[in-house]
Amino acid sequence: MKDPLRIAIIGQSNFAADVLELLLERQYNIVGVFTIPNKGSREDILATTAARYNIPVFKFATWRRKGVAIPEVLEQYKSVQANLNVLPYCSQFIPMEVIDGAALGSICYHPSILPRHRGASAISWTLIEGDEVAGFSIFWADDGLDTGPILLQKQVNVEAYDTLDTLYKRFLYPEGIKSMAEAVDLVAKEKAPRITQTEVGATYDPAMFKEENQRVDLNQTAKRIWNFIRGLDSVPGALATVLHEDGSEEHIRLFGAHLYSDVRVQEDKTLRLKGLKNLAYIHERGLLMEGTDGALVNVKRIKKGSKMINACDWFNLSQAPQITDFTEDELAKKEVLRNIWLSILKCPIESETDFFAAGAGSMDVVRLVEECKDAFDVPLENEHVFMAPVFEEFFGEVVKSLRQGSSGSSAKVHFDGLVLKANKKEISIPTQLFINGEFVEAENRRTLDIINPTNEEVLCKVACASRNDVDKAAAAAHKAFYGPWRQVSARQRGQLMMKLADLMEQHKEELATIESVDSGAVYTLALKTHIGMSIDAWRYFAGWCDKIQGNTIPVNPARPNNVLTFTKKEPLGVVGLITPWNYPLMMLSWKMAACIAAGNTCLIKPAQTCPLTALKFAELTVKAGFPAGVINIVTGKGSEAGQAILEQPLIRKLGFTGSTEVGKSVMRCCAESNLKKCSLELGGKSPLVIFADCDFEKAVKHGMSSVFFNKGENCIAAGRIFVEDSIHDEFVRRVVKDIRSMAIGDPLNRSTAHGPQNHRAHFEKLIEFCELGVKEGATLVYGGHAVPNTKGYFFLPTVFTNVEDHMYIAQEESFGPIMVISKFHGSDVESVMRRANRSEYGLASGVFTGDISKALSFADTIEAGTVFVNVYNKTDVAAPFGGFKQSGFGKDLGQEALNEYLKTKCVTIEY
């Protein structure tokens, strides 16, 4: 080319700005940019970009008046002396004096494969007409309607998932920018073709900015309804009309449509839409409509006025709680958000300012979301802007996200319950079921009596869940797993768990008080272990949330291709948890913290006799900001609610702690229901071997603790103590002496060391256990009966000696404060180890010795999931916990616990 190009860019938007920058990168001379005037103080990005490169910018509201080019506008255009006009995206009518004013002509981008879909709404009509191929044309502008000669065209297949936005983002925008530069290159090289458009297949389609063209015809096939909705999916949305029962009409807009082939759910929630033959259905996945061919279309989002809602929430909209109790920190963030909106919209931001009505476009949505992420560290998506385009509504969405993360929540939780006056406190405790984020009554308002084990009086009544209640909780957990919980990132999940742990820390004295009154736990122990270790569990597993990862695996490739194989760790889905009564909150936390960290949702049935800390915990989950349905708590009977959990088909995993007998039934039910994965922490009869070469004082102290810790209601309690004969008598004497000085009484008293057993049935079984031990010939040295003249389930710490291996009390778990002692000769180490293993249980074990070889030999030989050496009951949330043999399988705590709540997916890619 003899004369270098002098390019004028005429247009607007990010598309035009990106074309400008690409042409500058290729060293083209841009002599002027012509764009639209500012909207208020908001300048089009093309003008802003041009100014950054010191390119002259001209802003015209119109180029013509009464069909004639405005002289002064024409004069300003001529002043830049352009010899090529480039129109990347232009919404204005440019007069022919300008189009032909450049010596080399004008090239224009059009988002269709011309001559099909001429007109301003070409992309929309590509989808509305169900074209299999979409694309764009760069043509030489003329005085017709997109009828000039073609310079170049590119195309792409239209996929079933495509909407106007996806087509634009994946092809029309990025490829269009590169092709505009390619077209200029062809002009510069004098190789640009001019291919006359054929009239074969030409279409002239109406502009979709006219409202009469936006109404969807519902009297046609499902596919045509779907194509129309997705053709208007970004702006303005397909227009439909709801016919209300009172005769009134309401205009709505439909977004997010897809052809629906799942099971059709008939529900009572119906809508009548104008032009639709049959009723539309509101269901959990959206709005379902039937086309004239009997096929179904589902719509995910509906716009009512200026507010976008999930279609499934149509009937819940009026019930949705509005946040009004903003904290000072949140109000400060509101001003930060206002400044973000101001920087984008360039206009005053009031509570009712509508983001889109103020002139924002799709790229502004992206900018708003990204700036909010940077400013507040919240997991917002573009959809949040469309769902809440008004400033006050969007601020509410930001606060919701903040409360689900680092900022926490001061939300008030409504429930019916008990006001417990104890330990110089007044503590409000829910007594209802906790389902889908709310406290609700059980079916038929059924209740259970909760007995205070200290005085045998009825403490309160709690809801008693039915099978239907369990089904509702499972459905809520299932919906949350596939809904809002998936929107929470792994790191955000960890923040939620940390916030919950912080709230538990703030309320630890209340929780410990409830645990003492409800389960009989000694308050000081409850504070340190029951509650303290619960908090530790949530904090520990919170740290794992964003560290759950798979592996890449070097597999043998199929030559000549390469193969990449990797694994992904994914949550299982809905998890059912059934926990025992000895550590109510701690057992809940051990299991649930790992379950939630792995990304599952859950429902838990706490022990029938002491569910109150679980219900108080539920209140804290709301305050921490957990989405509704992620955690559900159903109180009730094991034979009803527990059995319903085992059989519930939506539950994919069962975590159970309890007796071996019940555990066998649990495992059968898991297999027979839907083959759900299960982990079982069952009974124990843990051996503790004490050699004469031990630290005797330490052995006595830990030997006492191994049996009497938490009133003996301890799954890893030493159920059989083997003491070397040379120290046997002195060991027994010291144990009895220490028992006599043990303070037994009110668990809330700070000096109390031994509180009441959890409930009457267990209390009576301990008496029977001791009676059987005496009957079999063991020596009852101390205890064996209730504390005399005391109300409540107080059982004396008990010591048996001369216990032989065949006796019932040597074989079966008492789960109470009963020490069972056998002696052995120091020369027969191998025999005592065999005796220690002569049990179907294998939960824990212990050895006290000063000889490291004995200790390591014991650790190698013993068949138990936990081995304590010169210590006992030393558990930590980072250490895996679980048994062998009939003590169950699977682990609580530690990294291994995560695997109980994850599945491994293997992905193989050939390339």
Which residues are tagged catalytic? 110, 681, 715
Cis, bond preceding 236 (omega within 30 deg of 0): yes
Alpha carbon distance 449, 460 (integer Å): 6
* SS3 state at 4: coil
Exposure class string for 310-330: b at 16+ Cβ within 10 A, else e = bbbebeeeeeeeeeeeeeeeb
- Axis-axis angle for helices 612-624, 508-519 (nearest 10): 160
Alpha carbon distance 870, 851 (integer Å): 11
Asked if 78 and 101 count as a contact pair (C-beta separation under 8 A), the reply is: yes
Q: Any idea how long the chain is?
A: 911
- DSSP letter at 712 equals G
Alpha carbon distance 169, 167 (integer Å): 6
E-strand spans in 522-608? 552-553, 563-571, 574-578, 601-605
Selection from 106, 105, 12, 109 nearest residue 57 by Cα: 12
Asked if 237 and 254 count as a contact pair (C-beta separation under 8 A), the reply is: yes
Stretch (H or E) spanning 684: none
Q: How many of the other CB atoms lie within 10 Å of CB of 633? A: 27
Asked if 125 and 231 count as a contact pair (C-beta separation under 8 A), the reply is: yes
Report CA-CA distances (Å) from 389 to 309, 353, 373, 671.
11, 8, 17, 49
Exposure class string for 134-143: b at 16+ Cβ within 10 A, else e = bbbbbbbbbe
Q: Angle at CA 109, nearest 5°, toward 103 and 111?
A: 160
Helices and strands of the chain, counted as H and E runs: 28, 40
Q: Sign (positive/negative) of CA torsion 225, 228, 233, 235?
A: negative
Strand partners, 421: 426
Asked if 821 and 721 count as a contact pair (C-beta separation under 8 A), the reply is: yes
Selection from 388, 322, 396, 309 nearest residue 355 by Cα: 388
Alpha carbon distance 276, 255 (integer Å): 17
Q: Sign (positive/negative) of CA torsion 645, 649, 650, 655?
A: positive
